[in-house]
A and B are shown apart, each in its own frame.
Chain A
Amino acid sequence: MYPRAALIGLLDSRNDRRLQLAEALERLGDCEVRLIESTDRLPERLDVLVADSACVEHAQWEALTSRLPTVVIAEQRNQATMLAAVDAGAVDYMIDPLQHVMLLHRILFRALGQHRQCQAAMHERDRLEHLNEQLETHLTILREDLQAGGQIQRRFLPPQGQVLNGVAADYWMAPSLYVSGDFLDYQAHSERYTMFCFADIAGHGASSALVTVLLKALFQRWLSRWNARAPENLPPRWLARLNRELLSLGVGKHAAIFVGVIDRETRMLHYSLGAQLPRPLLKTSQGTCVLPGEGPAVGLFPDIEYPALQYPLPESFSLWLCSDGILDCLPGKGLDERLEALCQCIGKVDTIAELRTMLALADALPDDLSFLTLTGFRHE
């Protein structure tokens, strides 16, 4: 039942009774009784105390009961004495203990059991508090780490509100956690081309955000090496390369992606895309339409050829790209209904800010959410 026999302290004013009581208790088993001469000198390692009310001053009870579970014994019922002991924290009392040894034995063991449970609970609470503090500390470190990551990720983004070769770019990014698995970039190349890219790495959080860093580095390198020839080949070639890069890395990450090059001279959009959903929307004076074409996700299937697509741009247009996080924020039951709702919304607004207001986007998002708009050529 317990690792060792319970050690019972017996403080009894009556010399004729105390030996008998001690022996009787020990006979009932599982315990050893120590006779105590004075409340000032309690032996070490006592588990429970039996104290004669005649030995203890009223004021002394508290010092005893705070140390050990204490049972009061008395020869006769004396209300005031008992009350003082019980008020001070004695767990039980017994009149004429020699006549009720078995009962006293039970009471002592019950008191001891409760005391041990209490101590175990306190010990457990201390342990949990300590663990909680550790957890809080770790959480804070992780949060600060991710926040720092998020700050760096935002530094990778192009400056807001730029006009590049007649095309104005605007965007908004909201990570569902601290860092985003969405990626976007746009840059001018010479006086003629505007290159842009919009990608959503599968999943979100740190693992996907790390892949966005790779995308940034690759595009930066590829763009700096582009010789400004055959812009129609650039998007499909980049997608095929990126597909190979992601597969060869073997990190198991894939992405939905759109890469486009706008040629200012011919007013042509050259583009290629993989698994982009919602599909890019083009808004002109004729209305809002879905940009045609499709391709598989990058980083999933080997040896993919991506389509080289073209779309002539009118005098005035705006191109809207949204990551699939938007699908969680649109009204409608099915995918088609939601995509239709998005098309309707974009038909009614001119800026991302207006779209966000219209959709009443909440702060806590289930997925990363990003928008990119490219508007031209009215800035010429």
Chain B
Amino acid sequence: MNEGRIQAAFEEGTFVLKLSGDVRLTLCATLDQQVEPLAELPGLERVIVDLRDVVNMDSTALGFLAKIALAVRERLPNQPLVMVEHPDVLQMLEVMGFQQYVTIVEATGSEPDRFDELPAMESGEEELRSRILEAHRTLMQMSEHNRMEFQPLVELLESQHQSH
């Protein structure tokens, strides 16, 4: 069993949520309380959700992502960017109806230069590409240091997750 993991980081206006493995938050009913504080982070400019290492997510975890997308909708110029690699995860996002609320990017591989080979997007391709590169840099720099910035959410998510 590929144990699920949730990490979060906040740096230079970018909030990154990285989920990996088999993420099941079935019996967790308190996650929603964490969404508002996230959306009200001072200096928040963009949200990136990295699902590239996710093999499976339950509907509660998907719902949590949807609530994040809704919470930042009015506040940020761009929709959250969701990076997906596994076709099952992509299908789940589509079935739930995420397309309207987040920008889904099918990203394969994690080498920065591979991001240049991203499929062409209909609009704002350059802008999107730079956002993705930036996201990648943020992910690469996700260290203990900047995880501390958002420790309450990380701790909550991780403790909730272990307790199921």
Binding site for B on A (CB under 8 A): 200, 202-205, 207, 252, 254, 256, 274-277, 294-297, 300-302, 304, 324, 334-336, 367
Contact = CB atoms under 8 A, between A and B. Distances in A.
A193 to B, nearest CB: 28
Contacts of A295: 97
Given A254-B66, A304-B97, A335-B88, 12 more contacts: A203-B25, A203-B27, A207-B29, A252-B63, A256-B59, A274-B97, A297-B63, A300-B63, A300-B70, A334-B87, A335-B91, A336-B91
Contact of A205 (B26, B91, B97): B26
Contacts of A297: 59, 63, 66, 96-97
A300 B66 contact: yes
Nearest to B101: A301
Given A203-B60, A252-B67, A324-B59, A301 B95 contact: no
A335 B87 contact: yes
Contact of B29 (A200, A252, A367): A252
Contacts of B123: none
Given A300-B97, A335-B88, A336-B87, A205 B63 contact: no
B124 to A, nearest CB: 23
B92 interface: yes
B70 A301 contact: yes
Nearest to A324: B59
29 contacts: A200-B59, A203-B26, A203-B29, A203-B59, A204-B26, A205-B26, A207-B29, A252-B32, A252-B63, A252-B67, A254-B63, A274-B97, A275-B59, A275-B95, A277-B92, A294-B97, A296-B96, A300-B63, A300-B66, A300-B67, A300-B70, A301-B100, A302-B70, A324-B59, A334-B87, A334-B88, A335-B92, A336-B88, A367-B58
Contacts of B59: 200, 202-203, 254, 256, 275, 297, 324
B95 A277 contact: yes
Interface residues of B, number: 25
Contacts of B60: 202-203
Contact of B27 (A205, A252, A275, A324): A205
Contacts of A202: 58-60, 62-63
A366 to B, nearest CB: 9
A256 B66 CA distance: 14
Contacts of B31: 252
B157 to A, nearest CB: 15
B152 to A, nearest CB: 18
Interface string B108-136: 00000000000000000000000000000
A329 to B, nearest CB: 14
* Cβ-closest 8 pairs across A and B: A296-B97, A202-B59, A252-B32, A335-B88, A203-B60, A300-B66, A275-B96, A277-B95
A342 B63 CA distance: 25
B96 A300 contact: yes
A254 B63 CA distance: 7
A295 B62 CA distance: 15
Nearest to B94: A294
Contact of B97 (A200, A301, A336): A301
A240 to B, nearest CB: 13
Which one of B25, B26, B87 has the highest number of Cβ atoms from chain A below 10 Å of its Cβ?
B26
Interface string B41-79: 000000000000000001110110011001000000000
A275 B66 CA distance: 13
Nearest to A339: B91
A200 B26 CA distance: 13
A294 B94 CA distance: 9
Contacts of B95: 275-277, 294
Contacts of A367: 26, 58
B56 to A, nearest CB: 9
Contacts of B63: 202, 252, 254, 297, 300
Contacts of A277: 91-92, 95
Nearest to A295: B97
